[in-house]
Chains A and B, each alone.
Chain A
Amino acid sequence: MHVSLDSALGRQRRLNQVGETISSIAAPTAAYSLRSLTGGDPKVVRVRRGSDNHEQDFTSSEVSSGALQDFVNAQVVAPLDIQALSATGRDGDFLIAKAAYSLRSLGTRQATLAATGDTVARADGKYVCQVRRSSDDAVKSFTATEVTDGTLLAFTNADYAKYTSDFSSGDDGWGGFDDVTETGNIDGIGGLDNNLRLAIGSVTGQHRGYRNGILPVNQKINFSARVFIPSTNSVVDSLGIRDADGSVIIAAGTTPTQDQWVTVTASNVTTVNVDGQLRVDLQDGGTDSFAGNSSDVIYLREVTVTQVTSDGLVKTWYDQSVSDQAGSTPTGNHATQSTAANQPKIVIGGNLLDELDFDGTDDTLDIDFGADLSQANSFFIVHHSDTTTANSNDLFDSATSANPRTLLDQSGSDYRMFSGGVSAGTGIAVTTDKSLIFALYNGSSSLFAKNGTATSALNAGTTDIKQNSTIGSSNTRFYDGTMQEFIIYNSDQTDNRTAIEANIGEAYSIDLPSGVDPGFDQVDGFVETWYDQSGNGNDATQATAANQPKIVNAGTLLNELDFDGTNYFLSSSNIGAYQSSDGIGFFCAYSKHSASTSDSFTSTNPQYLLQLRKTNLSNTTFAARVLGGKLNIIRANEAGNNFLTTISNAHTIGTNLVLSSVTGTQGVDLFENGSELALSTDDSGVSFDSSSTNLIIGSQDEGTRFIDGNIKELILYTSDQTANRVALETNIISHYGIS
């Protein structure tokens, strides 16, 4: 480390030390920048992007790496809302899909649909899927929001009374293994009638009663039963209840008090037996196997099984597309499956998948396009294969492989495009991860792309898509994997491929090649918070969108905050105490937009770089301003008495400057790029003490005299920084390459 002689002698240091930071030179009261002022990688800014108002925090390294700019430019225009490119941008006709399936909304132009076939009638809505629950086959349609907000799961996991015993006229279908004999309609046990009796014989071994078909498979249940064990028993004193695969419902060794009805319960038990068989093990001291005495019994009544989870199966994957530019006419090419066993799952065992799961055995969806679709045809598919087995990746084909057909499947290890007897291997391997597929069927100009990377031209034949086609199967071969999105255009979408892929990639976190979407990289980004790096928490914020300074302009990172001179400012409600006698250190990297040569005071002159005022009062106590295009400092007291510095040099428009001022009890010294502009002596006698201080960047009183320029960095000390001024200026000037 180099320490200058001046520093060693207690004078101003003239050179920065290696690795020296602003905070290591002197700890600021508030410090705002897009670079790190601390040597670490602090959070520096919170940005709102203009396209969808989404906000995100960024560290200094994320600003410099391009992550901030990428965030602002993310393609948030969903497929149904994308317009064709014209000479003036993406403002041509909307791209019209032939069918568009997803569980997310594919745009504001999503079709409004009737929930035809729902068990309980619903009003028309922007539905994405129609789901059948496995417990009772009820059917309901859901919007994209309802898929994710818990509405869908509330439907599939609604309590379902799977079984309630009734022993009033017999054994209600119960049976006995080993030597157990079941008898229903037993009266007068513990004062209650209509009970089931399980009586043991003389066998040495297990003694079990059972009932088939009362437990769901791979679902959770709540269970309840009342048990009576008479004290006349000499062996049977306990029991256990489970399914036929051993899933414990009531633990073995449960020993109810004898000669009274005791309720045993269980919650959220997953049962798995395919026959839904429940078994009751009669036990001796918790042991299953014992010698029967041909006389012991137990009684059961009020056995209930409540299913609390279900599978959700997709009966209809709604076509979200519209067929007209007005967006008012649903295309209606829904993908459907009326056979329960062939429906792909969206909920398994009570857990939402957020995708459609095709089992590779018989799951498939049928589409009726109304007519064959002649080429060109474009597909965008997001899927996740469970296997790379060629016979298990049949994504699309005509129904029963009838001609004409357009097939997309796997051949060898790669995706294959096929139509009219002409097959094109893509050379792109099927993998077991989430993949975004583009397939253009257009004769010898066909194309295939995976995750945004396209092949050269392929010849995939010239045949139409068959009117009746399928998703997830090719005749007797079935897709084994999940599907998230499936969009078909009866047109060549090569020119729009990257725009569509960019949005899909964003939605599913699929890594696409950089620069994938030049058509949309024109978004503005605005600063909601400029984080204080001092460690004092004096963040400068702006909660009103119309007043937020810009950091990304038309897709390009500015590397500074652009204040427009009419609306933009940031503020911190309280940076703590300010005492004018302690002095001020103000350092700012700034460039101005426009000339202002008048020294007259108007509504736009002077322009405020920084204002301090007592919280909840409008009187300035300290401000650094640009008056007539020149740096100007004002100190004031609560009574409105003030002291203004002598006007100094005018700034050059567009030139980066480091403006600074060190202020003591009376001396007010102004600097530009380290050179002194003016030294004033404040003998006005104004002084100000406040316990809480409002800081405003870019405006006076949060609403007038806005700064018209760019600020890269602003550092404030509520103390005289004469001793550190040169080191601080040198650091800032050096970083920004200002000469």
Chain B
Amino acid sequence: MLYLIYASKEAAIERADEEGKEIGFDYWIEDNGIGTRWLTYPAETIDHTWALDVTDYDLDDSEKASTVDYYTPLPDPED
């Protein structure tokens, strides 16, 4: 798996939006706010940055150079 790490959830979602538009998910085609929007959605890391799974994304050279192959997620919630 390949991940890009973002400082904020909003920045990660912005990149996920970009990919969703490029793929042509229904949310972007119909422009009615329903339907699939993202290929992947960011997850919070243990240091409160946001990891976006970009394994199947069309990355530019800069992004390719920035990917990591793992991240540490938030700890599991307690019961």
Contacts and interface: CB of A to CB of B under 8 A. Distances in A.
B79 A545 contact: no
A46, A542, A543, A606: residue with the most chain B Cβ atoms closer than 10 Å: A543
Given A53-B26, A55-B36, A548-B36, A603 B76 contact: yes
Interface residues of B, number: 21
Given A634-B79, A704-B77, A705-B76, A544 B26 contact: no
B25 interface: yes
B39 A545 contact: yes
B6 interface: no
B78 interface: yes
Interface residues of A, number: 29
Contacts of A544: 16, 36-41
Contact of B53 (A48, A53, A546): A546
Contacts of B71: none
Tell me the interface secondary structure of chain B in the complex. Answer: loop
Interface in B23-50: 23-27, 34-41, 43
B25 to A, nearest CB: 6
Contact of B35 (A528, A603, A620): A528
Contacts of B73: 704
Most chain B C-beta atoms within 10 Å of own C-beta, residue among A54, A544, A634, A644: A544
Contacts of B34: 46, 529
Nearest to A54: B26
Contact of B27 (A543, A606, A620, A700): A543
A126 B21 CA distance: 21
A289 interface: no
Contacts of B53: 546
A25 B41 CA distance: 39
Contacts of A518: none
Given A53-B26, A704-B77, A705-B76, A546 B40 contact: yes
B37 A700 contact: no
Closest 7 CB pairs of A and B: A55-B26, A543-B37, A544-B41, A544-B38, A546-B40, A603-B76, A545-B39
Interface centre among B23, B35, B36, B78 (most CB of A within 10 A): B36
Interface in A611-661: 618, 620, 634, 640, 642, 644
A306 B22 CA distance: 41
B29 to A, nearest CB: 9
A602 interface: yes
Interface string A579-614: 000000000000000000000011100100000000
Given A528-B26, A528-B35, A544-B16, 20 more contacts: A46-B34, A46-B35, A48-B26, A53-B23, A54-B26, A55-B36, A529-B34, A542-B36, A543-B37, A544-B36, A544-B41, A545-B25, A545-B36, A545-B38, A546-B40, A548-B36, A618-B77, A701-B77, A703-B43, A704-B76
A393 interface: no
A640 B23 CA distance: 41
Interface in A41-73: 46, 48, 53-55
A48 B36 contact: yes
Nearest to B19: A545
A701 B35 CA distance: 21
Nearest to B30: A55
Contacts of A470: none
30 contacts: A46-B35, A48-B26, A48-B35, A53-B24, A53-B36, A55-B35, A528-B26, A528-B35, A542-B36, A543-B27, A543-B36, A543-B38, A543-B41, A544-B16, A544-B40, A545-B36, A545-B38, A545-B39, A546-B40, A546-B41, A546-B53, A547-B41, A606-B79, A618-B77, A640-B78, A644-B79, A701-B77, A703-B43, A704-B76, A705-B76
